[in-house]
Amino acid sequence: MKGRKSNLDTRLKKTNEYVNHGYKESGGLIPSISGLSLYIGCSRSSLYNYAHESEEFSGLLETVKAIQENELINKGLSGEFNATITKLMLANHGYSDKQQIEQNNHVRVDFNKPLSALFEDD
């Protein structure tokens, strides 16, 4: 188990590097989980396994996502990033351009009148 712990420590160090501009130094425009997996040399599923084992690693993955979201918003608004791609990627962060309309139609039925009153001519 010691090997797994030292491996996690190494991954934590490399992930910290990636978060602190390592993604830019490796040619990335924004940080991503796939970019991190390439940077530290392990699969994305291994990253998620490390996140389950270590609260610190889990926090770093959340930081990667937060930086990505922030970069997408800022560079999308400034026009530095393609709007369509930015919109597509922000959907992964819960953003949407769909409009949700709630409609409440209330129908009042008076059961005190006989049914025949509906068909009477005035």
The pLDDT value given to residue 111: 65
Domain residue spans of the chain: 2-68
User: What is the band of 67 on the pLDDT scale with cuts at 50, 70, 90?
Assistant: very high
Instruction: Supply the mean pLDDT for the chain.
Output: 87
CA distance 14 to 110: 71
Q: Between these two residues, 120 and 15, which has the higher pLDDT value?
A: 15
Which has the higher per-residue pLDDT, 22 or 119? 22
pLDDT-derived band at 96, boundaries 50, 70, 90: confident
| Cα separation, 41 vs 13, whole angstroms | 13
Residue-wise pLDDT tens digits, 20-55: 999 999 999 999 999 999 999 999 999 999 999 999
The pTM of this model reads: 0.73
| Cα-based angle 51, 29, 43 (whole degrees, multiple of 5) | 30
In this model, does residue 1 exceed pLDDT 60? no
pLDDT score at 109:
62
pLDDT at 13 (0 to 100): 95
**Contact at 8 Å (CB) between 85 and 32?**
no
Measured between alpha carbons, how far is 70 from 63 in angstroms, rounded to an integer?
10
Contact criterion met (CB below 8 Å) for 63 and 19: yes
Counting DSSP H helices and E strands in the chain, the numbers are 6, 0
